[in-house]
Structure 1
Amino acid sequence: MPNAVAAMAPLLHNRFLTGFAKSFGVIMASEIGDKTFFIAAIMAMRNPRVTVFAGAIAALAVMTVLSAALGWAAPNLISKVYTHYAAVGLFLFFGLKSLYDAFLKKSDNEESELEQVEQELSDLNKNKSTGKDMKDMDKRKGNFLSTMLGMVFSQIFLKSFTLTFLAEWGDRSQIATIGLAASEDVVGVTLGGILGHALCTGAAVLGGRHLASHINEHTVLVFGGVMFLLFGGHALYTGP
């Protein structure tokens, strides 16, 4: 038995590194210039950077764990062969779609991700009551849960967490994480994804609007498309 464990150690190590590298690469390719990136960048311009970063990375870490767990459980419910080739299909689809958006999709009069996020945050702020009105409303309603949450977490943390979590739900990086976890080492995929999110979010928080406004969306789409196609091709070549 010890010999068998020793013989499997290099294989497990390689699977961990492969899952880690693929997950990290996918996140870096898909999150730079994505909606969650701009949410962190714009919020950090007007609020404490540490609080914005903490809320955003907490949401992304939770989403990564949930996505990886879903991908890990999928082969137990569906044949590993089917889940593997479904993941391959997703990678190839996202890769081709990114390249299509970069080269063929008409973008006349279409808002960029940055402009869309700015508009959404502006609308959210307009529809929100002032801090004094909110406090008075909480007192009148006696909302114990909101009071306790306000004592534990700042409103900025909760806003950053909620907006990031909702923006990430159903995003291509979430679906890619599910696909990777279904075919690669789930721990490696989880850690690689969280590290990738942390670096992207950290860059957004530190760079703020300056970094966001200098991102070339065409280059990001091309880079992301190539990365997805490479990972899809590698998965297709190695097999389930």
Structure 2
Amino acid sequence: MYEFLLSTGIVALAEMGDKTQLLALLLAARFRKPVPILIAILLATIINHGVSAALGQWVTTVVPEIVLLWVLALGFIAMAAWMLIPDELGDETDSINKWQKYGVFGATFVLFFLAEIGDKTQIATVALAARFDSLFWVMAGTTLGMMIANAPAVFAGNKLAHKLPIALIHKIGAAVFLLIGVSALAQHYLF
């Protein structure tokens, strides 16, 4: 259960102000249909994070344990630094227009899935699945974290986004990533 709760918290924090959350805001403002948007975000996240968690688990079978320890620890520390760099969403109007012919659900699913590739939360999912031996709980936690961050964005739109202390949330998220990275090394070398 620890893996689930940690994965949920980390991804919820990492998603605040992230480009995919900004995309969710943009899609909500454009289509004004929150239910199909949320269902599409959920399904895109389940698939994306499921593959990511499987990749994280697979990496543990092919990379030597000490190399994996250092890669994960340094990866979490790098994620801490990445959290401090604010994301920006470019002009997605053309992308939305391109995929709009597939409806609210189709456009949201494709755009969200593509935006999540190589994103902080996807990389965090790979790292968490490699760190913990629990593919299901990591995927379930990271997916819930995405929904915790994106559901209010979809329902409240820009009204809520401007009131959140995004810089503080990013600093807290960075501290959590840093703590995980350092503690992974400390557990190995001190205990």
Q: TM-score, normalised by structure 1?
A: 0.70
Q: Deviations over 1:55-102 (max 9, x none)?
A: 111111111100000000111111133223211111111213434x47
Structure 2 residue 162 is matched with structure 1 residue 191: no
Residues in 1 aligned to 2:125 and 2:54: alpha-carbon distance in whole angstroms = 10
**How do 1:140-159 and structure 2 match up within 5 A?**
155-159=103-107
Tell me the equivalent position of 1:74. Answer: 59
Q: Deviations over 1:181-204 (max 9, x none)?
A: 112022221111111112112111
Which of the numbers 43, 52, 55 marks the counterpart of 2:27? 43
Secondary structure of residue in 1 paired with 2:118: coil
Q: Percent identity?
A: 30
Which of the numbers 145, 162, 165 marks the counterpart of 2:110? 162
**How do 1:208-223 and structure 2 match up within 5 A?**
208-223=157-172
Residues in 1 aligned to 2:146 and 2:130: alpha-carbon distance in whole angstroms = 20
Q: Which has the larger radius of gyration?
A: 1
Tell me the equivalent position of 2:184. Answer: 235
Where does structure 2 lack aligned partners over 5 or more consecutive residues? none
Q: Deviations over 1:93-145 (max 9, x none)?
A: 1213434x47xxxxxxxxx62xx35x22x2335x649x8xx7xxxxxxxxxxx
Task: Give the C-alpha shift of residue 171 in structure 1.
Answer: 0.8
Tell me the equivalent position of 1:124. Answer: 95
Tell me the equivalent position of 2:3. Answer: 19
Structure having greater relative contact order (Cα 8 Å, sep ≥ 6) = 1
Task: Give the C-alpha shift of residue 165 in structure 1.
Answer: 0.8
For the structure 1 residues 212 and 65, does the alpha-carbon distance in structure 2 shift closer, same or farther, using more than 3 Å as the test?
same
Secondary structure of residue in 1 paired with 2:157: helix
Contact 1:67 1:174 in 2 (8 A): yes
Where does structure 1 lack aligned partners over 5 or more consecutive residues? 1-16, 103-111, 135-153
Contact 1:22 1:231 in 2 (8 A): no
Tell me the equivalent position of 1:30. Answer: 14
Letter in 2 for 1:230: L
Contact 1:28 1:197 in 2 (8 A): yes
Contact 1:65 1:190 in 2 (8 A): yes
Letter in 2 for 1:62: I
Structure 2 residue 80 is matched with structure 1 residue 95: yes
